[in-house]
Amino acid sequence: MNIDTQAVQTGLEWDTRTGALSIPIYQSATFRHPGLGQSTGFDYSRSGNPTRLALEQGIARMDGGSRGFAFSSGMAAITSLLLLFQEGDHLVVTEDLYGGTCRLFDRIFTRFGLSFSYVDTTDREEVLAAITPSTKALFVETLTNPLLKFADIPALSTICHERGLLLIADNTFLTPYLLRPLERGADITVYSATKYLSGHNDTVAGLAVVRDPQLAEQVYFHQNSAGAVLGPQDSWLVIRGMKTLGVRLDRQQENALKIARWLQRHPQVTRVHYPGLEEHPDHDLIRRHARGFGAMIAFEVESHSLVEQLLLRTQLISFAESLGGVETLMTFPEGQTHADIPPELRARLGINDVLLRLSVGIENVDDLIDDLNQAFNKRETTV
Ligand SMILES: *Cc1c(COP(=O)(O)O)cnc(C)c1O
C-alpha cells in the first residue's frame, strides 16, 4: 500500500462496537482490569492509550519500522532517544542542526557526561574523522534547517553499521511521504510532528519510529519511564492532520518551486536555497533518494533593512516560527530559530542577518507571490 493511502487508514475502524470511522479520543488516565493479573492491553495512559497507540501504529507503518512512539513534542522525542546512551558516550551530529536540538545536546546532555561533535554530515571524510572509540551514534537531519543540505542515509548507514553505531535521522523536513530513512539503513527516525505530519499549526507533538524490535523495547522502556507522552486529544489531532499529508505536500512543493524561481529572478534577492532548483548542490542526490524536495526555502536579500521590511509587511504570509503547516510562514533564523547556535558556527553555516526562511503553505501561489511582491515594493516613506 502506498504511504498516502496508509496515512488515510490511520486509526480507521478501531471502534468495532459502534463502528465509528474516526478513532475516539480515549480521554482516560486509567483502565479497569477485567480480573486479577489481567489487562485489556491498556492499564494506565502513560504506559499506553488507545488513541496514542493508533497514531504510533500508523506512523510505524508509514515509516516501515517495527514500532512507533508518540511524545509530547519533537524535543521530548529526541530527549527520550538520548536516554538510550550513558555517561562517556559520544555522538557525531549534523552541524547545520535545529537550534533546539543543539541546545538540548550542549547545555543539558553534556551535564550528564555525553559529548557531541558537530560535522558536515554530507562530507564522508569529516564524519569518519569525528568517530572515536566512545562514539555510539550518528544523529543527522535528513534535510537540514535552514540551509537544506541532504544527508546521504545509505552512505552514512554503511559507516555506522561497519562500526556498530546507531544511525538516528530527524526526518521532520521530508516526512515519510518523501523519504523513508529506515528502508535505507537508518535505525531510528524522529519527527517534530508539530510540523508537516500534523500540518495545521494547531498542536505540538513528537514521533519516533524504530526498525529493530529489541531496540524498540528499549525505547518503550524510556518512553514509559520518563513519561513525556502525547495526550489523547493531541494524538487525535496528529492522526487527523496526517491523513492529508500527501495532498498537502504535493501542493506545498509545487508552490515552493514556483516561489523559489520567482525569488531567483528578483533583483533584491541575492541567493536562494531550495533543493528543487537544479543549481542546489544536493539536487541530484535528493532526486535519486527521495520522492520530492520539500517545501522549505531559505533566501538572502540585499540588506538587513529589507529583512525587517519583508517580515513586517507581508500580509498573507505570517512572521512566525515553526513550519510545515498549511499556512505560509516566514522567519529570520539568525534571530529566531537559530539564536541558540554559537555565533561562530552560525557564521560558518551561512546563517546571517540577511537570511530569511519560508515555510510554504497550500494557499494559491499567485496570492503568495503578490504578497511577497508588495512587501518588497513598499518604501519606508510610503508608510
Ligand atoms: C521543530 C523541530 C524540532 C523540535 O520539535 P518540537 O515539536 O518543536 O519540540 C526538532 N527537529 C526539527 C528539524 C524541527 O524543525
Peptide bond into 146 cis (omega under 30): yes
Q: Tell which atom from ligand 1 comes closest to the C-alpha of 324.
A: 15
**255 and 354 fall within a common domain:** yes
- Best residue among 69, 93, 95, 98 to mutate for probing ligand 1, ranked by most atoms within 8 Å of CB: 98
Does 196 reside within a domain? yes
**252 and 235 fall within a common domain:** no
- Best residue among 139, 142, 179, 194 to mutate for probing ligand 1, ranked by most atoms within 8 Å of CB: 194
Q: Does residue 46 carry a catalytic annotation?
A: yes
pLDDT at 314: 97
Does 383 reside within a domain? no
Pocket of ligand 1 (CB under 6 A): 73-75, 98, 100-101, 141, 145, 170, 172, 192, 194-195, 204, 206
CA distance 296 to 359: 5
190 phi and psi, to 5 degrees?
A: -135, 145
**313 and 347 fall within a common domain:** yes
Q: Does residue 170 carry a catalytic annotation?
A: yes
CA distance 246 to 2: 10
**68 and 212 fall within a common domain:** yes
- Of 26, 52, 96, 98, which one is the catalytic site residue? 98
Domain C-terminal end among 221, 242, 263:
242
**159 and 272 fall within a common domain:** no
- Of 184, 195, 211, 357, which one is the catalytic site residue? 195
- Biggest CA pair distance of the chain: 77
Q: Does residue 136 carry a catalytic annotation?
A: no
Does 175 reside within a domain? yes
> 364: domain CATH number?
3.90.1150.10
Does 382 reside within a domain? no
Does 257 reside within a domain? yes
**Structural domain count of the chain:** 2
**323 and 356 fall within a common domain:** yes
* H or E element, residue 376: helix 365-377
CA distance 113 to 103: 15
- Which residue's C-alpha comes closest to atom 4 of ligand 1? 74
Range of the domain at 183: 3-242
CA 197 to ligand 1 centroid distance, Å: 12
Rg of the Cα atoms in the chain: 21
Domain C-terminal end among 180, 209, 242:
242
CA distance 261 to 277: 8
Indicate whether this model's pTM tops 0.85. Answer: yes
pLDDT at 380: 53
Domain C-terminal end among 215, 242, 269:
242
> 233: domain CATH number?
3.40.640.10
CA distance 107 to 93: 15
Q: How far is CA 28 from CA 51, 52, 156, 222, 231, in A?
A: 10, 12, 42, 22, 10
Q: Does residue 195 carry a catalytic annotation?
A: yes
Q: Block means of pLDDT (10 residues each) for the chain, length 383 residues? A: 92 87 96 96 97 98 98 98 98 92 96 97 94 98 90 96 97 98 97 98 98 98 98 98 97 98 97 96 94 97 96 96 96 85 84 95 98 86 47
**208 and 280 fall within a common domain:** no
CA 228 to ligand 1 centroid distance, Å: 15
**201 and 279 fall within a common domain:** no
**237 and 360 fall within a common domain:** no
**197 and 329 fall within a common domain:** no
Does 253 reside within a domain? yes
